[in-house]
Amino acid sequence: MAGGEKVDYVFKVVLIGDSAVGKSQILARFARNEFSIDSKATIGVEFQTRTLLIDHKSVKAQIWDTAGQERYRAVTSAYYRGALGALLVYDITKRQSFDHIPRWLEELRGHADKNIVIMLVGNKSDLEDERAVSTEDAKEFAEKENLFFLETSALQATNVENAFQTVLSEIFKIHSKKNMAADPKANGAAPSLAGKKVVVPGPAQEIPKSKCCSSM
């Protein structure tokens, strides 16, 4: 699949969070449009790729998932290495999975690049009747820690596309700035990214204002 395509960027994004919060389902939902080997319940790490266009550039998203073996230590460090984006996933019906988010965030910041783009994701938004984590609590935590925030439903495909698009677009911005800084000649040629609208929210969903992760 990848052989014939010309790809301008390859961005690695990792999915982290407690087991059974639906990380693999989020990944499957996002990557559903691309052919992939049938590899269910793989060991330690699974990743799938999907190529999309951002601002007329071909961006290949390499999404990494722990596939339910969060403590698979052999690839803990390698899992985070080179990651430019991360989705911190919790289950809105399980308070404990949200209470563990600070520890996941700490591990992420301890291993990954400091400029990583992080989005807090509350999955299983279709199970409103069983909600155990309020949107306000999560939003407050996200604002305090300078994270993006969205609630998703992998089952109903709610906001999954938006989550990845937001993270990838933000990574793209950062990388474009780096490239322009590295190559002054490209300043004039590169189109301005200011005010670019990249996320189209669904009904009743609020997208937080764009925030860059602060330097630690």
Partner 1 sequence: MLRRQPGDAPASAAASEADLAQLSTAIAAGEDLGPFVRRAFACGRPEPLLASLRAAARDREAEIEELCRAHFHDFIRAVDDLRSLLADADALKGSLSASHAALLSSAAPLLASLESFLAARGLAGNLSSALASSRRCVRLLALANRANAHLQGGNHNLYLALRAVDAIDRDLASGPEPLPLPTLRRMLLSLVPAVRAHAEREISREFSDWMVSIRAASRHLGQVAIGRSAAARQRQEELRSKHRPLEECITLDDDGVGDLDDFAAAAATADVADGAAAASFDLTPLYRAMHIHHTLALGERFKKYYLENRKLQLTSDFDVIAATPFLESHQVFFSQIAGFFIVEDRVFRTGGGLTSRPDVDALWDSAVAKMVSVMEDNFSRMQTANHLLLITDYAALLSATMRRYGYPVGMLLDVLARHRDKYHDLLLADCRRQVVEALAADKFDQMLMRKEYEYSMNVLAFGIQSSDITPAFPYVAPFSCTVPDICRIVRSFIEDSVSFMAHGGGGDTYAAVKKYLGRILSEVVDASIQKLVDSGGGLSVSQAMQVAANMSVMERACEFFTGHAAQLCGVPLRAVERGRRDFPLRKSRDAAEALLLRLLRSKVDEFMGQSDGVTWMADDPPAGGNEYANEVIIYLETLTSTAQQILPLPVLRRVLVAVLAHISERIVGLFLNDSVKRFNASAVTGIDTDLKMFEAFGESMSSLFVDSDQESAANEMKAALVEARQLVNLLMSNSPENFLNPVIREKSYNKLDYKKVAAISEKFRDSSESYFSTFGTRGARQNPKKKSLDTLIKRLREAS
Residues forming contacts to partner 1 in the complex (CB under 8 A) are 1-2, 18-20, 36-49, 68-82, 100, 102-104, 106-107, 109-111, 114, 216
Q: Minimal distance in Å, beta carbon 18 to partner 1?
A: 6
Cβ-based neighbours of 113, under 8 Å, separated by 6 or more:
82, 83, 84
Instruction: Output 110 or 195, the one with its CB closest to partner 1.
Output: 110
Instruction: Output 12 or 199, the one with its CB closest to partner 1.
Output: 12
Q: Minimal distance in Å, beta carbon 87 to partner 1?
A: 17
Instruction: Output 55 or 175, the one with its CB closest to partner 1.
Output: 175
Strand partners for 148: 119
The burial class, CB within 10 Å (0-12 / 13-18 / 19+), for 19 is middle
Q: Minimal distance in Å, beta carbon 43 to partner 1?
A: 5
Instruction: Output 1 or 189, the one with its CB closest to partner 1.
Output: 1
**Strands of the sheet with 46-54, listed across from one edge:** 46-54, 57-65, 9-16, 85-91, 117-123, 148-151
Q: Minimal distance in Å, beta carbon 28 to partner 1?
A: 13
Q: Minimal distance in Å, beta carbon 104 to partner 1?
A: 7
In degrees rounded to 5, what are phi and psi of residue 61? -90, 125
Instruction: Output 49 or 205, the one with its CB closest to partner 1.
Output: 49
